[in-house]
Amino acid sequence: MAEYSRMAKGSFTASATTAVVQLPFKPDFVELLNYTNIAAGSGTNKTTRAWWDASLVVSSNNPTMIELYGAGGSVLFDVVAGSAAAPGISAFSAGQLLQFGPSKQIVASTKGATTSFQVTSHGYAAGDVVIFEGLYQSATTGMPQMAGIPFTVATVTDANNFVVNWNSNNSSYTNLSASPTGSTVKKVLYPYLYFPGTSVISAITTGATTTIDTTSAHNFVVGQEVAFRIPSQWGTVELNTLPNLTIPGSPIYGYVVSVTDFNTFVVSINSTSYTAFTTAIAVSAVNGLSFPQVVAVGDVNTGGVAISSGSALYPPPQYTPIGTAGVNTINGPAIKGAFVNNTAQGFVIGNGAATTNTSAAIMAANDVIEWRAYLHDYSSP
Amino acid sequence: MRDYIVSAASQINAGGGSNGFNPTNLGVSDFSLVATTLDTNNAYKFMSGIEGMDRFGTGPVRSAYFMLSSTELQSDFDSLVGSGFLSQWNYPTNASALPSEYGSVYNIRILTSSEAPVARNAVANSSGTLNDVYYNTVLGKQAITHINQDGYSMNLIYRDPYYSGMLAQNATLAVKFAQAQAITQDTAIRNLLSTRLSNLGV
């Protein structure tokens, strides 16, 4: 081994048929032992060992080789193809700028209080973040107002349909149909690389306090100071963070007083008499249209908040991709006033079936997995 | 810092261009809009102006914010000559110009880099044609900073081959630091998103 190689090992008990292992490098070789199946001593289609090499490509796929028990205690070798339909082990690197999945053609859309899209075999799950492109039915119709905005997939209706939180229930929007040219959607592979960040606003409820809905997870916490950038077409311009006429030089900010869920929070601004928010933007006004945004001012990351009184430890900063449950980042305590870098790298264990012994997969829930990962200095090819 | 700003600073979509995308290519009105926004927010400009001189082909340069842009937009900037763009070579004196400075439009001086963030094929127009989206970061003096953790400042590390490997084949040159980035004044920074007018020409 030369000085730039990397090696890591570890173990875990599987909570599902898939797992993500984060590492301080992107491995080019991974091997793992399924100790549960090894200890059992036998069992039909039970994988005992799996290994994957980044440089081995078969038919554009990067297969995972497995060793497994067959009927009668025999030992077999098989392959998990590594295709989209049969994912095996794969490495990932979230990087520092957004990466995207393949663009998929939008077949149709249905407007309403939320907006539904039909995409053949979209493969998305609730909580995924997607971005639309185009969305023109013709030069003057369609839903291009939504193009370019990151949306959390709120509901997966079925394999070909999903819903995002955007009120398109007005005459400015027309349904898409017959797979319009240039109307596509792509998944953001690793969203929230830095947070809290900028979120696009999908709805505002005015009142004694102001409730904000965002198109994707805002990742704010109670106490977060926020600023608003709302172009005049969207209505509620009174929220904009402009110089304060009462206290010159002090911009107008709000504070988050409660977090309802991943895309809804309440701000301490009395907006009772403010202009109503609207998504009714004419298609003709789309060119040059800026989106309504809420921006973190400084931050209130979880760093600096002790786990318990007297504890010297701090929880890692969390983000909330959907619902209300936070997900830990790999970071240690954050610095107040700084933002959290949420990039990651490592490898993923997929749940694809073996090619020949189609009942076999790499692991099942509750299996004990021992893994090793390597990044080599030199590889040929 | 670059990627963090893309993620955490607010955005304005260019609308002053004519290419039919959202955002459009950069028009001079976009520069004016962003500078006005930062001025309204009492942002500090980086550079004082350059007074006009009696030299052919030159013109005075306004006091200015900096905009960080992609080198791929340089031909778009050139297309604005006569409309408000002033090449760095047309400054009365380029003594204060930075090596990466391409020119200025109104109250914004433009620095270009091949490392500026670009989202490829990120928007489609009504014909389905795709275009790249460029993140042009315009910032005032008080907009951003970095924080050294616990006074742990930057270390430049060099070990010659003799110390880096038994066979003395590889040297080590590295920079080590523990820093966090912060937007110190969110009203003094904007990402001006734009597409491109011209072909890429690569």
Q: How confident is the model at residue A337 (pLDDT cuts 50, 70, 90)?
A: low
User: What integer pLDDT is reported at residue A306 of this predicted model?
Assistant: 44
pLDDT digits (tens, 9 = 90+) for A80-134: 999 888 999 999 888 777 788 888 999 999 999 999 999 999 989 999 999 999 9
Residues B116, B51 within the same domain: yes
On chain A, the residues whose CB falls within 8 A of the CB of B11 are 198, 229, 290-291, 293
Residues B85, B161 within the same domain: no
On chain A, the residues whose CB falls within 8 A of the CB of B21 are 287
pLDDT digits (tens, 9 = 90+) for B136-195: 999 999 888 877 766 667 788 888 887 767 788 778 888 887 777 778 888 889 999 999
| Number of Cβ pairs < 8 A linking chain A and chain B | 139
Topology of domain A104-188, CATH: Elongation Factor Tu (Ef-tu); domain 3 (2.40.30)
User: What integer pLDDT is reported at residue A140 of this predicted model?
Assistant: 93
User: Chain A neighbours among B 52-81 (CB < 8 Å)?
Assistant: none
Residues B137, B148 within the same domain: no
Please judge whether A297 and B125 are an interchain contact, meaning their C-beta atoms are less than 8 angstroms apart: no
Q: Where in chain A is the domain with CATH 2.40.30.20?
A: 104-188
Nearest chain A residue to B133, by CA:
A148
Residues B125, B150 within the same domain: no
Residues B43, B67 within the same domain: yes
- Give a yes or no: residue B189 inside a domain: yes
* Answer CATH for A192-342 from 3.40.50.720, 1.10.3720.10, 2.40.30.180, 3.40.50.300: 2.40.30.180
Residues B114, B176 within the same domain: no
Cα separation, A212 vs A258, in Å, equals: 11
Which residues lie below 8 Å from residue B103, measured CB to CB, with a gap of 6+? B77, B85, B86, B87, B88, B90, B109, B110
* A110 vs A332: which has the higher pLDDT: A110
Q: How confident is the model at residue A290 (pLDDT cuts 50, 70, 90)?
A: very high
A217 Cβ under 8 Å from any chain B Cβ: no
On chain A, the residues whose CB falls within 8 A of the CB of B119 are 98
Torsions phi, psi for A266 (to 5 deg): -115, 135
| Amino acid occupying residue A335 | I
- The DSSP letter of residue A292 is P
Q: What is the mean pLDDT of residues B107-126?
A: 92
Would the pLDDT of A157 be above 80? Answer: yes
Give the helix/strand (H/E) hosting A35. helix A35-40
In this complex, the residue of A144, A196, A249 whose CB is nearest that of residue B42 is A249
Q: What is the mean pLDDT of residues A284-312?
A: 69
pLDDT digits (tens, 9 = 90+) for A212-221: 999 999 988 8
Residues B93, B161 within the same domain: no
- Give a yes or no: residue B117 inside a domain: yes
3-class state of residue A343 by DSSP = coil
Give the helix/strand (H/E) hosting A266. strand A264-267
Range of the domain at B38: 2-143+184-194
Would the pLDDT of B45 be above 80? Answer: yes
- The DSSP letter of residue B119 is E
Write out the two tokens for A268: 């301490």
- Name the average pLDDT for chain B: 88
Please judge whether A183 and B42 are an interchain contact, meaning their C-beta atoms are less than 8 angstroms apart: no
Residues B54, B42 within the same domain: yes
Q: Where in chain A is the domain with CATH 2.40.30.180?
A: 192-342
* Number of domains observed in the structure of chain B: 2
Please judge whether A148 and B149 are an interchain contact, meaning their C-beta atoms are less than 8 angstroms apart: no
- As a whole number of Å, the end-to-end CA separation of chain B is 27
On chain A, the residues whose CB falls within 8 A of the CB of B28 are none
Please judge whether B123 and A148 are an interchain contact, meaning their C-beta atoms are less than 8 angstroms apart: yes
Residues B33, B121 within the same domain: yes
Low-confidence winner among A90-99, A185-194, A329-338, B115-124 (lowest mean pLDDT):
A329-338
| Amino acid occupying residue A102 | P
Residues B82, B170 within the same domain: no
**Distance to chain B for A288, nearest Cα, Å:** 3
User: Chain A neighbours among B 98-157 (CB < 8 Å)?
Assistant: 117, 119, 121-130, 133, 147, 149
CA distances from B48 to A19, A186, B44, B97, B138 (A): 55, 44, 10, 11, 16
Residues B117, B19 within the same domain: yes
Q: How confident is the model at residue A303 (pLDDT cuts 50, 70, 90)?
A: very low
Torsions phi, psi for A8 (to 5 deg): -150, 155
The CA-based angle B137-B138-B144, given to 5 degrees, is 85
Residues B153, B137 within the same domain: no
B198 Cβ under 8 Å from any chain A Cβ: no
